[in-house]
Amino acid sequence: LEGVKDISRIKSAELYEKAKTFFPGGVNSPVRAFKSVYGTPLFIQKGNGSHIWDADGNEFIDYCGSWGPLILGHNHPSVRNKVIEVMQNGMSFGAPTALENELAELILTNNRFIEKIRFVSSGTEAVMSAIRLARGYTKRDKILKFEGCYHGHVDAMLVKAGSGLVTFGETSSAGIPKAFADETIVIALNDKDALLKAFEEFKDQIAAIIIEPVPANNGLLLQEPEFLQFLREQCTANGTLLIFDEVISGFRVGFEGAAGYYGIQPDIITYGKIIGGGMPVGAYGASAAIMSNISPDGPVYQAGTLSGNPVAMGAGIAQLTELLQPGFYEELDRKTAAFVKDIEDYVAAKGYELKIFRIGSIFWFAFTQQEHIRRADEIDAGSMAHFKIFHRELLNRGVYVGPSGYEVGFVSGVHTADDLEQTKKAIFDSLDVVYQN
């Protein structure tokens, strides 16, 4: 078996040692610490197009894309130029600017599923606000979420299923009062019986059901459209709001996100990542009637010093304008489909136990033979040992993916045919190492 040399991580290791003296775990967000893969975290120095370079000068073709926002790749000229243009006039006023109108108009005129929007600064903030809005609007307290969906580090969402079909959650982080977790009901994805039981047990108490319509934070747990439709119907029947958390799927599986992809009207949608072109932005939107509950129009308080700040709005405007070019999503889908198909063919020819799940430009390698994985508990934790080797081999061959087997990858509009060819070769060789052929 032909091995390749491990990449040099001397500079990254030095930076990491220093970072550990400043930050818990040496990082400002936990997954960056490379806890479930080999080696020290890579410190990234620059990105351009589909490529990134680390502090040791290693070059990679990037499929993490800052965890989803960079659908146009790194440092896209339209986004960069717009940001520079906006910055000539200052960076924050805490007062309204025309740029907020411009980004809102771009979104609302091209999205049939929301009528009004509010900009915030992260996905977590968007979800936190959406939950408060749902509670304020329905005058109910309980929220139902699904095991295997991530909604940011909101107290009410850091809750995992207990044992049993329908359970009050147990907190999945220290520091969250049990009383908060008691307001969150957690059930499995793709489980209609559990949902019906929850509505029965907590009749007239559930303010909202929140779901990632494309669950992409714990593998890619693609749901049957029929299940999402069932949620819609049950929510309507029970006076419960349906929240689609589209922080990943928004502007990714199409300009109208998963709502548009599946043709399902949620009551509130949260956005993040792509909407800010790489700057810190989140948003939530709903019908004008529901949004009229937000302050200063209504009684649900929500605010932000840097909300809608001009630089972030500029980046969002530039990026979304590119995404509205005719054929953008079709081309992205076509090239990702072809990329995945070639890998599937290789895997089939070699008889490897690997399944690649995909929707649009989102993909996930699952070291399994299961035809479908729709629930978190259907993922074999043991398969992550394969991912760990795969990740190291990919890095050694110049391909960067997120440092966890539960993370999805993203193809961007600027990945070239050459990039994808080179990546496939790296994937084939890495799989050969994983399976020792």
Where along the sequence are the contacts to ligand PMP (CB under 6 A)?
67, 122-124, 127, 150-152, 212, 217, 245, 247-248, 272, 282
- Could you confirm whether 262 is annotated as catalytic? no
CB closer to ligand PMP out of 26 and 272:
272
Looking at beta carbons, which residue is closest to ligand PMP?
123
CB of 68 to ligand PMP, least distance (A): 7
CB closer to ligand PMP out of 138 and 217:
217
CB closer to ligand PMP out of 122 and 138:
122
CB of 157 to ligand PMP, least distance (A): 8
- Edge-to-edge strand ranges of the sheet holding 362-366: 355-359, 362-366, 409-410
Do the strands 355-359 and 268-271 form a parallel or antiparallel pair, or are they unpaired? Answer: unpaired
- Could you confirm whether 350 is annotated as catalytic? no
DSSP states along 163-178? SSSSEE-EESSTT--H
CB closer to ligand PMP out of 370 and 404:
404
* Helices marked H in 239-327: 257-262, 288-291, 310-323
Separation of alpha carbons 174 and 58, rounded Å? 37
198: helix, strand or coil = helix
Contact at 8 Å (CB) between 193 and 230? no
The H or E element spanning position 115 is none
CB closer to ligand PMP out of 104 and 247:
247
Do the strands 399-400 and 59-62 form a parallel or antiparallel pair, or are they unpaired? Answer: parallel
CB closer to ligand PMP out of 202 and 363:
363
CB of 146 to ligand PMP, least distance (A): 11
418 contact partners, CB below 8 Å, separation of at least 6: none
- Could you confirm whether 204 is annotated as catalytic? no
Give which of 218, 264, 265, 272 is closest to 245, Cα–Cα. 272
Contact at 8 Å (CB) between 208 and 134? yes
CB of 408 to ligand PMP, least distance (A): 10
The single residue listed with the structure tokens 């120095």 is 45
246: helix, strand or coil = coil
For residue 80, CA distances in Å to 83, 198, 283, 306, 315 come to 5, 48, 21, 20, 7
CB of 282 to ligand PMP, least distance (A): 6
CB of 87 to ligand PMP, least distance (A): 22
CB of 26 to ligand PMP, least distance (A): 19
Contact at 8 Å (CB) between 147 and 104? no
Type of residue found at 38: Y
Type of residue found at 63: Y
CB closer to ligand PMP out of 124 and 423:
124
Structure tokens at 51: 């490529």
Q: Which residue among the candidates 54, 245, 267, 419 is catalytic per the annotation? A: 245
Q: Which residues are marked as active site?
A: 150, 245, 273
